Structure 1
Amino acid sequence: MSTAVLVIDVQQGLCEGEGAAHDVPGLIGRLNTVTARARSAGVPVLFIQHESGPGYLEHGTAAWQLANGLQHAPGDLRVRKTTPDSFLRTDLADHLRALGVRDVVVCGMHSEFCVDTTTRRALALGYPVRLVADAHSSAGNAHLSAPQVIAHHNATLANISSFGPRVSLVNTADLRFD
């Protein structure tokens, strides 16, 4: 297998309440489309879950669980992480090596944190990245709305050339696994 899908931090605690990411229902629908297409093509799907200490995405709590409505299958893999970098101190690289992965599709939350950091690290490790431009999200911040953060990261990540491998942007409707 040469491709894998990384679904980053789409967890219940990031999908509800005051700090909820932008357009959670739409995002989950697009993610379900991406992962269903991947599974149909025999492409592995890896769900990456962030965990912190008590009170915020604590392992095993309701907030730590995959988001309501996000479809997952028994063959999907799970990776636990504690930093914005899905590779740092995790078994993600081992999984990708074992699966023979040469490039990754990235989607999830939050655009400016874990999606950005994991994308850059994947490039540094030699993986070309297809960033699903309409399947990552943010809660925004005091300076930029969530749609602005998403657009900024699409533009920024797609313009990085110094790693060698590149980021290509693809919308959910155009994503193929042939």
Structure 2
Amino acid sequence: MSTAVLVIDVQQGLCEGEGAAHGVPQLIDHLNTVTARARAAGVPVLFIQHESGPGYLAHGTPAWQLAEGLHHTPGDLRVRKTTPDSFLRTDLGKRLQALGVRDLVICGMHSEFCVDTTTRRALALGYPVRLVADAHSSAGNAALSPAQVIAHHNATLSNISSFGPRVTLVNTAELQFG
């Protein structure tokens, strides 16, 4: 297998409340389309879940669980992480290596934190990345709206060339496997 899909931090606690990511219902629809296509093509799907200490996103809490409405199957893999980098202090690299993965499809939350950091780390490790341009989101911040954060990261990540491997933007409707 040469491709894997990483669905980053689409967890209930990031989909509700004051800090909820923008456009969650549409995002989950897009993610379900991406992962269904991947499974149909025999492409592994890895759900990455961020966790913190006691309190917000603590392992096993309702906020830590995958988001309501996000489809997952027993054959999907799970990776627990504690930093914005899905590779740092996790077994993600070993899992991808064992699966023979050579390139990644990345989507999820939050564009400016875990999606950005994981994408850059993947490039540094030699993985070309297809970033699903309409399947990552942000809550925004004091300087930028969520839509601006998403657009900024689509533009920025797809223009990085110094790692060698590149980020290619693809919309959900255009994403193909195989």
TM-score (norm 2): 1.00
**Partner of 1:26 in structure 2?**
26
Which residue type is aligned with residue 131 of structure 2?
A: L
In 2, Cα distance between the equivalents of 1:129 and 1:94? 18
Structure 1: which 4+ aligned runs deviate by more than 4 Å? Answer: none
TM-score of the superposition, structure 1-length normalised?
Answer: 1.00
Partner of 2:170: 170
Q: Deviations over 1:45-73 (max 9, x none)?
A: 00000000111100000000000000001
Structure-to-structure mapping, 1:5-154, within 5 angstroms: 5-154=5-154
Give the CA deviation at 1:108.
Answer: 0.1
- TM-superposed CA distance for 1:134, in Å, is 0.1
Offset of 1:119 from its aligned partner? 0.1
Helix, strand or coil for the counterpart of 1:63?
helix
Q: Distance in 2 between matches of 1:151 and 1:33?
A: 21
Number of residue pairs aligned between Structure 1 and Structure 2? 178
Kindly provide the CA deviation profile for residues 129-155 of structure 1, in whole angstroms up to 9, marking residues without a partner as x. 000000000000000000000000000
Q: Identify unmatched segments of 5+ residues in structure 2.
A: none
Amino acid at match of 2:27: L
Q: d(CA) in 2 for partners of 1:164 and 1:143? A: 31
Q: Counterpart amino acid of 2:145?
A: S
Letter in 1 for 2:175: L
Gaps of 5+ in 1: none
For 1:54 and 1:131, the matched residues in 2 are separated by 32
Identity among equivalent pairs (%): 87
Q: CA RMSD in A?
A: 0.3
Aligned residue for 2:64, secondary structure, equals coil
